[in-house]
Amino acid sequence: MQIRGKIPLLIVAVLAWIVIISSCANQGMPTGGPRDSIPPILLETSPEFKSLNFSGNKVQFTFNEYILSDEVSEKLVISPPLGKRPIIRTKGKSLIIQFNEDLLDSTTYSLDFKNSIADNNERNPYKNMRFSFSTGDVYDSLRVAGWLMNAFNLEPVESGLVVLQKNLHDSAVYTVRPSYIAKTDEAGIFLIDNIAPGKYNLFAINDANNDLIYNEGAEEFAFVDSIVIPSAEFVEEIDTVVKGTDSLLVLGHTHFYPEPFYLHQFTEEIFDQYMDSYSRKTRYKCSFIFSEPVKDTFNINLVDNDATNWYQLEYNEIMDSVDVWIVDTMVARLDTLVMELSYYQLDSAAQLYIQKDTIEMNFTDKVKKKTKKKRKSKDDETEKPKPIEQFVWKTNASASIMEINNSISLVAPEPVSYFDSTQILLYFTEDTLKTPLKFKFEKDTTAWRQYRISTKWEPDTKYTFEIDSAACTNIYGITSKRLSKKFKTREEDYYGTVLIKATEMPNPLCPLLVQLLKNNDDETVIMEQYIAKDGTATFSFISPEKYRVKVIYDENGNGKWDTGSYQDKTQAERVVYNNEVVKVRSNWEKELSWDLKRDLTFVKNIRDYELEEQQRKAAEKKAREEKENPDRPKQNQNQNNMFQGGGTGGGGDIIR
C-alpha cells in the first residue's frame, strides 16, 4: 500500500526528468553524415548498348538513384541530327529520350550527353556519357576527332558545332543538313563517333541560330582543305613480359584515321554594306557608321541647300565610320539638315551599284534654366572683355615619366587647318638658355587630329616641352592655347631587352611578324617587328614586367593578321605563341630560341612558371601548417552538410 501511494510521484518525477533533459539538448539541423560524392550508376539501358536492328521510338536509361535532367535538353547531341527535338523526361529513376520522327534505316545513332546527367542529391555529374545503337544489322564505329580553336588567338572554342557533310558539293554546307555532328567541350575538343565508311567534308560552325547550316559572314567558320575518309586498323602489341607460358600474349588497340584535326575558326569578310547608325550629337558634327568600309565610295549632299565646301570628312582606321565636320557655320545653325548619302552596294548578282539614302539630322540646343540676376556692384559696372576662345591640346606629355621608346603625342579636339611646327620647342629643363633640341614632327597616319614628336631621348634626363599660343588653328578659326609640360626619362638600367631567335624558319619563307603583348587575354600589342634576315627580332627598352610573345605568319606581308575565306579556299593566317610567359628584368637581356617552322598541330597553353612555383610553395606551406596544428579550425568549412555543394566524381563504367 505504501508503494502504490508513491507511484504517482514517481511518474511525475520521470516526466520532469524527461522535460529537463530535452530542454538541455542542443538545437540545430542534423549533420546528415558524410557528403555524397558518388555520381549516379547506370544499371540498365533499353535497348542495349550497341544493339542492332532497333525499331523503337525511345531509349531508356535506369540509374541506381533519382537524377536531374535539367541540362540534357541543352547539352544532348544526337548524331546523325534529327529534324525535330526529342521529348526528354524522367520516370522514377529512369531517363527517357522519345523521338518525334522516324529514324533513318541502316544507320548508327550516337547520343552524347556530356556531363548533363547528375544525381538529385548533390548534383554529382555522370561524366562524358555516350550511348549508341543501330537501326540496321551493321554497327558503324569509325570516328573523327580534333580541336577547334579561334584562328586569331588560338583560344579553345566551347560548344562549337563540328559537322561531317557527305554531300561533297561546296554549297552543301549552306543548304543541306549535315550527315554527322558533334559539339566541342570546354577545351575545344570534339569527337564525332559511329561514322559509316565514306568520303566527307569537315566543317565547324558557330551556329548562332541552331539551324545546323552555315550562314556566311554572320557566323564563325572553319573548314578542312581536303576530303576526310575515316578508317581504322587494329595495332597488335606483343607483351614480352609474360612468363610461364609457351606463347606470347598478344594485346593491341584500334587506331583511328585520319589523325586528329586542328581546326581554326574565323569570320569571313563578306561584303554586305548597309548603314548601321547615324547621329548628330553637336551642331558641328554628324557621325555615320557602316557595316563595311566606305573609303572612296562615300558622298554626301544637302537637300534643298546650295551650300558648297560646307563639310570635312574624317574616317576611322578601318574606314567603316565617317565623321562629317560641318565647317560652314550657317549650315551648322540649322536645327534640321536633310542629307542625301551615297555609297556602293552589291545587288543580288554581286554587281556594284550606288545606294542612295535620304535622312534627317536634327539637333536642338538645350534650354538653359533661368537664374536670378544678382545686383551689380560698383566694381562690376565696368564690363570686362570676353576671353578669346582657344582649344586645349590632349597630350601624353602630362605624365611625369616619358619612356625612352615612346614619343610625345598631341591630339586636337576638332580638325586642324593650320599647324606651325616652328612654334614647338623641346629643350633640357636644366638648360637656362633653352637651347632647342632636334626632333621629328609628323602627323599620325593611324589616327585623325593626332601628331607625334619624337627624338632620341637621353636616359635619366629632364625635358621641357612647349607650344606657343596660337601655333595651331582649327577649321572653325579657333587657335590653340599655350602648352608647357615637364617630364623626365628613366635611367637606362631600368629597362630590359628581349631577343627572339628563330631556330627554324617556315618553308617556303614568309614574313614573320613578332608581337610583344601584355600578359593578359586582351591581345594588347606593346611592340611588334618582323624577324630580320638573320632570324632575330630585338625588343629594346622594355619595362620590367611579364609579357606574352606571338608570331603571325604574315603571308601577304601587310603587317596585320588576315582572316580566311571559304569561297577562295584560303585559311586564316596562322599564329603561334611562346607557351611560357616572358619575364623582363631591369638591366637584363632575355633570349628566346624558338622553332618557328610551320606546325599545324600547335595548341596554345601559355604558362607562368614563376606564378605556378609560388602557388606550389603556398600550398605546401598551408599543408605543413595544417599538419602541425591539426586542432585549428579550418576556414570556410560548412557547419551543415545540407547546404554543401555537390562534389565531383568519376562516371559509371557501363557506357563510355
Tell me the C-alpha distance between 221 and 174, whole Å.
12
Residue limits of CATH 2.60.40.3710 in the chain: 390-490
pLDDT digits (tens, 9 = 90+) for 443-490: 998 888 999 999 999 999 999 999 999 999 999 999 999 999 999 999
What's the burial of 185, exposed, middle or buried (CB within 10 Å: 0-12/13-18/19+)?
A: middle
Determine whether 564 is exposed, middle or buried from the number of CB atoms within 10 Å of its CB (0-12, 13-18, 19+).
buried
Residues of the chain with CATH 2.60.40.1220: 42-134
| Model pLDDT, residue 388 | 86
The pLDDT, as a whole number, for residue 648 is 36
Q: For domain 42-134, say whether CATH 3.20.20.150 is its number.
A: no
The predicted-structure confidence for 550-565, as pLDDT tens digits, reads as follows: 999 999 999 999 999 9
Fold of 496-609: Immunoglobulin-like (2.60.40)
DSSP 9-61: HHHHHHHHHHHHHHHHSPPS----SSPP-PPP-EEEEES-TT-SS---SEEEE
Name the residue with cell 541540362. 71
Q: Answer whether 481's CB lies under 8 Å from 395's CB.
A: no
Q: Sign of the CA dihedral 628, 632, 636, 639?
A: positive
Measured distance CA(303)–CA(355) in Å, rounded: 16
What pLDDT sits at residue 31? 47
* Residues sharing a CB contact under 8 Å with residue 285, sequence separation 6 or more, in sequence order: 323, 324, 325, 326
Domain 275-362 has CATH 2.30.110: no
CATH no., domain 142-233+260-265: 2.60.40.10
pLDDT in the model for residue 28:
37
Residue 598 pLDDT: 87
Q: How many CB atoms lie within 10 A of CB 238?
A: 11
Q: Please check whether residue 76 is in contact with residue 116, taking contact to mean a CB–CB distance below 8 angstroms.
A: yes
Residue type, 405: N
Please state which CATH number belongs to domain 390-490.
Answer: 2.60.40.3710
Domain with CATH 2.60.40.1120 in the chain: 496-609
CATH 2.60.40.10, the chain: domain bounds: 142-233+260-265
Rg (CA), the chain: 37
Low-confidence ranges of the chain (pLDDT < 70): 1-35, 239-250, 368-383, 508, 631-656
The span from the CA of 130 to the CA of 49, in Å, is 10
